[in-house]
Structure 1
Amino acid sequence: MYETKTIREKIKLFTIIMLPILITQVGMYLMNFFDTVMSGQAGAEDLAGVAIGSSLWVPIFTGINGILLAITPIIAHLTGAKANDDVPRKVQQAIYLAIALAVAIVLLGIIVLKPILNLMDLESEVRNIAFYYLVAVSTGIIPLFIFNTLRCFIDALGQTRISMFIILISLPINILFNYIFIFGKFGVPAFGGIGSGIATALTYWLVCIITIAVIYKVRPLRNYRIFSNWVKPAFSEWWEQLKIGIPIGFAIFFETSIFSAVTLLMSVYSTNTIAAHQAAMNFASLLYMIPLSVGMALTIAVGFEVGARRLNDAKTYGLIGISGGLFIAIFNGIILFIFDDAVARLYNGDPAVIELTKQFIYFAIFYQLADAFGAPIQGALRGYKDVNMTLVIALVSYWFIGLPTGWILANYTSLEPFGYWVGIIVGLSSGAIALLFRLLQLQKKYN
């Protein structure tokens, strides 16, 4: 990151930061995308099992990852204020915290995973695939959380291309692992959907090892000497990150968990309906990586300018990001409308599943419009370290407005499973509007 003077310079720098983040996010999500697509080719039960497993894992992962994301504005503020000597200590404490959170999640899973799956009205084969998929994924949680912490450090310095290259190297290896473990190649048994969990865990370990090696060897990252002169774990340092990270994590959890809750509520419908819902949601979520990347870039840019007390520049970056989000929302809607049939056929060859998937995609067009608008605003607010109100907005709009609306429409109208998607649209739209008012209020306060 560096200081810019004109809007043109800001757009150029923002693009330089954002595009590698986008490629990185798309690459990371493509791992889940190929897990789902390749599992679907193994059978509808495998697709449904991975869908249920992902619905339990993704909100937990994204919520905890929100806590880890707090290191981005912390480092951005330090570098903006030219306090680089404090960076290694902050990153080391963040690594300790990431390991502690990973261990806590694994222990929690040991206790609650089977009881949760047993409460769901699932076919026995689907339940079995979901359980062992999650067991396999759990073996890679610790390296995943360490990687995400280190990636936040890299990105906060504006070195987003490094994260991009790491993921681009890892993605084809993940696809190869999927091919081997899902379909049983090179003498390995065919695990079906469970194999995608094994492949994912192996990839997490690989990505973590590569990232550590890059930080240790590549300039300017090695100049910070992150892995030298280790300090002891300090709960006071953890608390500084948790004060910012917990609201971020819960806000993200409330958003992502509504999608998982909808998938779990749909367990009363047929396996084909679950598979079609997951297919449409999976591809729409892939498109969501674009506005999410804009939001992550805004956190870096706005945090850097706020740390340097250049508040007008921070506001300008916010306007650039939100304008980009609006353009992206329109572009994503066109993609979904034009290629609905092609997208549906990516996931499954069953005509009934394809037709159901296309119907869900039409609803996805509208829900991603609100999501693409709200994500950049959330990123800008994180740059200001304004996270508590975002938490409240997420809770109210998604769980008090969106999910009840969807449940009523699904159970008391002819929309049935599609009613849940209407509820998602209502919740996301309410959240996006509230976030915009919060950002405007915050900018007025700073001025």
Structure 2
Amino acid sequence: MLTQKKSLSRDIGSIAILTGPILVTQYAQIANGVVDTIMCGRLGAEALGAVGLGVAVWVPMQAFLIGILYGLLVELAQLCGAGKTGDITSTTQQACWLGLLLAGGMGLAVYFAGARLGVFGLPEELLPLVAEYLGGLAWAFPFCGLFYSLRFYCEGQGAPKIVTVIALGAVASNIALNSVLMFGALGFPALGIRGCGLATGLCWVLSLLAAMAYVSLARRFAGNRLFARLHAPSLAAIVRLFRTGLPIGVAFLSEYLVMACIALMIARQGTVAVASHQITYNLSLVLFTLPVALSIAISILVGQARGAQDAERERRVVGAGLLLSSGVGLALTAALLALSQWLPSLYTDDPGVLALTRALLTIAAFFQLADSIQVGLSGALRGIHDTTVPLILSSLCYWGVGIPLGYALSGEASALFGEMPQMGVMGWWVGLIAAITLAAMLLGVRVRRSFWKAV
């Protein structure tokens, strides 16, 4: 019994040590968006709206790219666990080719999307500004793809701290570059919103250069330098990495699409409902970053155990990870409930928005618990390359349960089916909680069968 407690404490410590730097990295990425929003606000309301629309175009594409390259992280974790360090450089270089190819196509899509957003009925005065912003960053998408390949190269081998340092440096660089390019500091011409896009692109370039310098010079990689020998693209290896990461990328993209769909439906309920939903979603997204970082750490350690063919350690890591995920979920739920009356005042002083947001947060608090557990379970399954079935289960829950239930409870279905509940925006959040809870239950069954079936 004492030995089991020591093992559990050790595994919890290992997960926590990995989670810390990854969490700071995730928050640094969020900070870049906050910086852009604040600094663009100085250019006026139109510029701020244009950046918001532009972000809605490129961020989902980036999330899809990150999800696909996530397969590299799991692949490297398993290679490390198996002691096959000789395969790490060739696998990572194939991921770089994949990232370059995908990100190049996405960059072209982002560039041309800016000129074609008018088909969605967007305000005419914003379209040129959106095109300027997207044109300013589209060219740098290939650098973004290469950077995330190197990020997962480091994190997959248990070296997340350098990624954190680079991410924090990117925030500082973004502030400086925005000042220079947007407002014309140091003698540079003021490029306005295009300068904001250029600053984002240049931050990706600088992050890539810093990562390349580290993996080329760091002592921990001295015995197996990533760029000591260049491997030609291998179609079989690229396809294998793509097939591993595709379900993860689709899952990341699906979450954006679900929330976009709900936001569009809520928009029909008026300004107060939209504002309250946006505040609640923003706060939930900030809190959600902690379970996501925890999930990445679980994936890495489970992958290492699978590579070492240590089934007992796999089960210990999964158990410790789920214990941590549950604890984090409970803590976030309690925090949101305790602060639900105060947090909305950070965003607005409108009485109607404040009242509705406070009510929403008391519901959304329980979303944190279910989502934290669900994300932890997903991380465990990704560590053993089990990605397709979890994607199907989660998609069925979101699209088959969450959207229809939210539609019914919000009152939108009354026109079709007669008298229905009239919960408004709160109905959509109840639908989300039901969907994520069901997803957690189904993934829990999947985890039990995957890791404890033999036992």
Bucket of the pairwise TM-score, normalised by the shorter protein? 0.7 to 0.9
Relative contact order, higher structure (CA 8 A, sep 6+): 1
- Correspondences of 1:382-397 after superposition (within 5 Å): 382-397=382-397
Q: 1:425 aligns with which of 428, 433, 445?
A: 433
Given the alignment of the two structures, is residue 65 of structure 1 paired with residue 73 of structure 2, yes or no?
A: no
> 1-side partners of 2:195 and 2:265: how far apart?
25
**Aligned counterpart, 1:85:** 86
- When residues 201 and 406 of structure 1 are mapped into structure 2, their CA distance, relative to the original with a 3 A threshold, is farther
Q: 2:443 aligns with which of 435, 439, 445?
A: 435
Flag structure 1 segments of 5+ consecutive residues without an equivalent: none
Q: Does the 8 Å CA contact 2:381/2:447 hold for their aligned counterparts?
A: yes
> 2-side partners of 1:261 and 1:147: how far apart?
30
Secondary structure at the counterpart of residue 380 of structure 2: helix
- Tell which deviates more after alignment, 393-402 or 371-380: 393-402
**Aligned counterpart, 2:204:** 204
Q: Does the 8 Å CA contact 2:111/2:138 hold for their aligned counterparts?
A: no
- When residues 415 and 221 of structure 1 are mapped into structure 2, their CA distance, relative to the original with a 3 A threshold, is farther
> 1-side partners of 2:348 and 2:181: how far apart?
19
> 2-side partners of 1:106 and 1:100: how far apart?
10
Secondary structure at the counterpart of residue 385 of structure 1: coil
**Aligned counterpart, 1:139:** 139
- When residues 350 and 41 of structure 1 are mapped into structure 2, their CA distance, relative to the original with a 3 A threshold, is farther
Q: Does the 8 Å CA contact 1:63/1:249 hold for their aligned counterparts?
A: yes
TM-score (norm 1): 0.87
> 2-side partners of 1:29 and 1:438: how far apart?
31
The letter for the 2-side match of 1:429 is: T
> 1-side partners of 2:398 and 2:189: how far apart?
43
Please report how far the alpha carbon of residue 26 of structure 1 lies from its aligned counterpart in structure 2 after TM superposition. Answer: 1.6
**Aligned counterpart, 2:233:** 233
- Tell which deviates more after alignment, 241-250 or 176-185: 176-185
- Tell which deviates more after alignment, 306-315 or 13-22: 13-22
- When residues 265 and 35 of structure 1 are mapped into structure 2, their CA distance, relative to the original with a 3 A threshold, is farther
CA shift digits 1:55-91 (9 cap, x unpaired): 3333322122111010111111111111111111001
TM-score (norm 2): 0.86
Please report how far the alpha carbon of residue 199 of structure 1 lies from its aligned counterpart in structure 2 after TM superposition. Answer: 3.4
Please report how far the alpha carbon of residue 130 of structure 1 lies from its aligned counterpart in structure 2 after TM superposition. Answer: 4.6
The letter for the 1-side match of 2:207 is: V
Q: Does the 8 Å CA contact 1:170/1:207 hold for their aligned counterparts?
A: yes
Please report how far the alpha carbon of residue 299 of structure 1 lies from its aligned counterpart in structure 2 after TM superposition. Answer: 0.7
> 2-side partners of 1:157 and 1:52: how far apart?
37
Please report how far the alpha carbon of residue 41 of structure 1 lies from its aligned counterpart in structure 2 after TM superposition. Answer: 7.0
**Aligned counterpart, 1:374:** 374
Please report how far the alpha carbon of residue 262 of structure 1 lies from its aligned counterpart in structure 2 after TM superposition. Answer: 2.5
> 1-side partners of 2:319 and 2:119: how far apart?
46
Secondary structure at the counterpart of residue 219 of structure 2: coil
**Aligned counterpart, 1:308:** 308
Q: Does the 8 Å CA contact 2:374/2:439 hold for their aligned counterparts?
A: yes
> 2-side partners of 1:138 and 1:13: how far apart?
38
Please report how far the alpha carbon of residue 332 of structure 1 lies from its aligned counterpart in structure 2 after TM superposition. Answer: 1.9
- Tell which deviates more after alignment, 340-349 or 388-397: 340-349
Please report how far the alpha carbon of residue 40 of structure 1 lies from its aligned counterpart in structure 2 after TM superposition. Answer: 5.8
**Aligned counterpart, 2:217:** 217
Given the alignment of the two structures, is residue 299 of structure 1 paired with residue 299 of structure 2, yes or no?
A: yes
Question: Which is greater in Rg?
Answer: 2
Please report how far the alpha carbon of residue 142 of structure 1 lies from its aligned counterpart in structure 2 after TM superposition. Answer: 1.5
Flag structure 2 segments of 5+ consecutive residues without an equivalent: 1-5, 414-420
Q: Does the 8 Å CA contact 2:111/2:134 hold for their aligned counterparts?
A: no
- Tell which deviates more after alignment, 325-334 or 82-91: 325-334
> 2-side partners of 1:197 and 1:276: how far apart?
29
**Aligned counterpart, 1:401:** 401
> 2-side partners of 1:274 and 1:136: how far apart?
30
Please report how far the alpha carbon of residue 127 of structure 1 lies from its aligned counterpart in structure 2 after TM superposition. Answer: 5.1
**Aligned counterpart, 1:27:** 28
Please report how far the alpha carbon of residue 310 of structure 1 lies from its aligned counterpart in structure 2 after TM superposition. Answer: 0.8
Q: Does the 8 Å CA contact 2:58/2:110 hold for their aligned counterparts?
A: no
Question: How many equivalent pairs are there?
Answer: 442
> 2-side partners of 1:99 and 1:371: how far apart?
32
* Percentage of identical aligned residues: 27
- When residues 53 and 354 of structure 1 are mapped into structure 2, their CA distance, relative to the original with a 3 A threshold, is farther
> 2-side partners of 1:121 and 1:368: how far apart?
35
The letter for the 2-side match of 1:86 is: D
Provide the aligned C-alpha RMSD in A.
3.1
> 2-side partners of 1:345 and 1:294: how far apart?
29
- When residues 409 and 203 of structure 1 are mapped into structure 2, their CA distance, relative to the original with a 3 A threshold, is farther
Please report how far the alpha carbon of residue 114 of structure 1 lies from its aligned counterpart in structure 2 after TM superposition. Answer: 4.6
